[in-house]
Amino acid sequence: MGEFVEGFDSLAELGPAISIFGSARVAPDDPYSLAAEELAAMLARTGITVITGGGPGVMAAANKGAAQAGGVSVGLGVELPHEQSINEWCTLALNFRYFFARKTMFVKYAQGFVIFPGGFGTFDELFESLTLVQTGKIDHFPVILYGRRYWQRLIEWLHDPVAQRGMISPADLELMRITDDNEEALAWIVESFAAADADRTAIERSPAGEEHAEAVAERRDQRTSKPE
């Protein structure tokens, strides 16, 4: 409970934010690290907070890009037997003991995920976000895979056998986008934020009244959209 309270208190005023995930094991000069650093700087200059898991590799690169661009650079670390401390580029850092509390903060305070190549932890965040969008728990939530070559076989497997066997619907394959271009990723994020704002405005002005306004308030600042 203490971790939830601290997280809610610390992150309540973040504003628009994107969570960037990726491997802790890549070097600072790895192409994916460099791409994450550049994208985070672009987001920061747009006024969007960058949230990562606070570790090294892609996470440190993203935090560095956001911090050096003058943005808010958040690191949500977790205590692990072999894990290092939170990287030096976080302007706001929280350390969690419990994965479930930490993962709540990623989804509650971000309005989209950019998933760089990574391992089990990265896969965990990817599939959790897709499940939440698929089941309608979050709306206007872009899930962007960065690195076509890395993710292509996963996409192919999701098409066949997963979708072919009816384990997911063909429409579920459209819940994520894939790119190798930061400008394209940024454009998708900005479009999603604009769509979310438009939907909130429409619902708040709806003649249906207080029930709709209350629902909007509950979902504000944390829900995302299925990409077109």
pLDDT at 81: 72
pLDDT at 226: 40
pLDDT < 50 positions in the chain: 211, 221-228
| CA–CA distance, 79 with 88 (Å, rounded to integer) | 17
Q: For domain 2-219, which CATH number applies: 3.40.190.10, 2.30.42.10, 3.30.565.10, 3.40.50.450?
A: 3.40.50.450
Write down the domain spans for the chain: 2-219
Question: Could you report the per-residue pLDDT of 4-50, keeping only the tens digit for each?
Answer: 899 999 998 888 999 999 999 999 999 999 999 999 999 999 999 99
At 137, the amino acid letter reads K
| CA–CA distance, 175 with 172 (Å, rounded to integer) | 5
pTM (2 decimals)? 0.86
pLDDT at 40: 98
Gyration radius of the chain's alpha carbons: 17
The DSSP annotation for 144-205 comes to EEE-HHHHHHHHHHIIIIIITTTSS-GGGGGGEEEES-HHHHHHHHHHHHHHHHHHHHHHHT
Residue pair 54/63 in contact by the 8 Å Cβ criterion: yes
CA distances from residue 202 to 183, 188, 209, 211, 226 in whole angstroms, order as listed: 29, 21, 12, 14, 18
Structure tokens given for 157? 């497997």
pLDDT at 225: 40
pLDDT at 224: 40
pLDDT at 195: 83
| CA–CA distance, 198 with 201 (Å, rounded to integer) | 5
CA distances from residue 112 to 26, 48, 143, 153 in whole angstroms, order as listed: 23, 11, 6, 23
